[in-house]
Structure 1
Amino acid sequence: MSQFIVGLTGGIGSGKTTVANMFADLGIDIVDADIIAREVVEPNSAGLAKISAHFGPNILNKDSSLNRAKLRDIVFKNENEKNWLNQLLHPLIRAQMINQCNLAQSKYCILAVPLLLENKLQSLVNRVLVTDCNTNTQISRASHRDKNSAAQIKQIMAAQLDRETRITYADDIINTELILTQIRAICENLHQNYLKLAN
């Protein structure tokens, strides 16, 4: 990958999408791992065929799409099934991320990966940009957005790196407690810095 890549990560509800959109507004290509993760299990994909062969046809909705809630329920309760799924999907997602970064047209690109550090993908990027806010803000944002209970959000957070550890990996940090105009100004400063680094 000749492209200069900035890895954007942060805990659930920490403002990654807001920050990614600001970089997109500056003309930067965004490669989004969440979108790729959905694409590799779309109807008629090799990924979905393997999942339905393994878990049975009941894992599909009537329209042949993946029943995510059912799958999440199975893997949340069964560590072996979770490992099986990760071993199937992670290489597919990783290959697609690398491919899309290679195809990016902007001077540098942003690779947005919620679990960049947890999945030890730092080697794919030149810099790590972390979105950060306090834990209560994460819980209220994520439960409001995903219509989940605070307990469910805390469970997801427990499976992610804690805030202090995540920050130790960061080359750059954006505090998303700030107002949007301040966040945008930080993104613009970082953008100028990344353009210099990409050259």
Structure 2
Amino acid sequence: MRIVGLTGGIASGKSTVSSMFKYNQIPVVDADVIARDVLKKGTGGYKRVVAAFGPDILQDDGQVDRLKLGRIVFSDASKRELLNRLLAPYISSGIFLEILKFWIKGHKVIVLDIPLLFEAKMDKWTKPIVVVWVDPETQLRRLMERDNSTEDDARNRINAQMSLDFKRTRADLLIDNTGSLEDLQGRFREVLLQVKRPMTWTEFWLSRDGALSALLGVIIGVLASRKILSTL
């Protein structure tokens, strides 16, 4: 099984690229969706976060106000680290379960869409690593336009993440999204060819079909051995 790591920065266009993979029938495990799920009212993640940050982060319906929580953690590195530490076990478990579901269904290639790929040390489980990159000026402008935020707020959110220039150095495949949507689509098609290349033997043995083949081989070997021993 090939697990493709997809990452980028805020307002880099990573979500657009993720949608392109889905459009091309490649399943995507979205860490942001999982992160939202583990913060739903009543979950273990919800209880730990409310205990740590207090009831002021809640909406009238008792759900976590993600915008309010975001403002707190993006302006304070220690609180951001605390939040990541509280939720990491739940998010990691959710990611594993989603990957397992696709493995059981027999998918040979999946995409793990995760903003904190390197920070969470999950890059060692993915190959190739696709990084969606934009230049800093474009990233800032797009974020301000998208969220209707001030320059200071936008810079705080960008600076709270690992820099795109550093992520770029760790990429196996780079998608430069500084240009137009048409440019992005062209670069994505080039990356898609690499992602869909034939599997290596290691990737095959890690797939469901490979595991079943190995299991069948073991069963045949055991039966053959028993037959030989019975004739001695």
**TM-score (ref. length: structure 2):** 0.76
**How has the CA–CA distance of structure 1 residues 151 and 178 changed in structure 2, closer, same or farther, with 3 Å as cutoff?**
same
Displacement of 1:176: 0.8
Greater Cα offset, 24-33 or 78-87? 78-87
Task: Count residues in correspondence.
Answer: 197
CA distance in 2, matches of 1:154, 1:78: 13
Equivalent residues of 1:118, 1:160 under 8 A apart: no
CA distance in 2, matches of 1:34, 1:42: 13
Greater Cα offset, 108-117 or 78-87? 78-87
2:199 equivalent in structure 1: 198
**How has the CA–CA distance of structure 1 residues 55 and 131 changed in structure 2, closer, same or farther, with 3 Å as cutoff?**
closer
Which of 46, 51, 61 in structure 2 is aligned with 1:53? 51
1:171 equivalent in structure 2: 172
Larger radius of gyration: 2
Displacement of 1:44: 1.9
2:124 equivalent in structure 1: 123
2:2 equivalent in structure 1: 4
Equivalent residues of 2:74, 2:157 under 8 A apart: no
Q: What amino acid is aligned across from residue 82 of structure 2 in structure 1?
A: W
**How has the CA–CA distance of structure 1 residues 21 and 69 changed in structure 2, closer, same or farther, with 3 Å as cutoff?**
closer
Structure 1: unaligned runs, 5 residues or longer: none
Which of 11, 18, 21 in structure 2 is aligned with 1:20? 18
CA distance in 1, matches of 2:39, 2:13: 26
CA distance in 1, matches of 2:98, 2:114: 13
**How has the CA–CA distance of structure 1 residues 195 and 148 changed in structure 2, closer, same or farther, with 3 Å as cutoff?**
same
Equivalent residues of 2:26, 2:111 under 8 A apart: yes
Post-superposition Cα deviations, 1:86-145, rounded to whole Å, max 9, x if no partner, equal: 221011111111221222254311111112123332122121101111111101111111
CA RMSD between the two structures:
2.1
2:33 equivalent in structure 1: 35
CA distance in 1, matches of 2:81, 2:47: 18
Post-superposition Cα deviations, 1:39-77, rounded to whole Å, max 9, x if no partner, equal: 101122121122223333333211110122333344456
Displacement of 1:162: 2.5
Give the secondary structure class of the aligned counterpart of 2:87: helix
**TM-score (ref. length: structure 1):** 0.87
**How has the CA–CA distance of structure 1 residues 79 and 31 changed in structure 2, closer, same or farther, with 3 Å as cutoff?**
same
Equivalent residues of 2:29, 2:95 under 8 A apart: yes
Equivalent residues of 1:28, 1:107 under 8 A apart: no
- What is the percent sequence identity of the aligned residues? 32
CA distance in 2, matches of 1:164, 1:10: 10
Equivalent residues of 2:77, 2:160 under 8 A apart: no
CA distance in 2, matches of 1:145, 1:113: 20
Question: Greater relative contact order (Cα 8 A, min sep 6): structure 1 or 2?
Answer: 1
Structure 2: unaligned runs, 5 residues or longer: 201-232
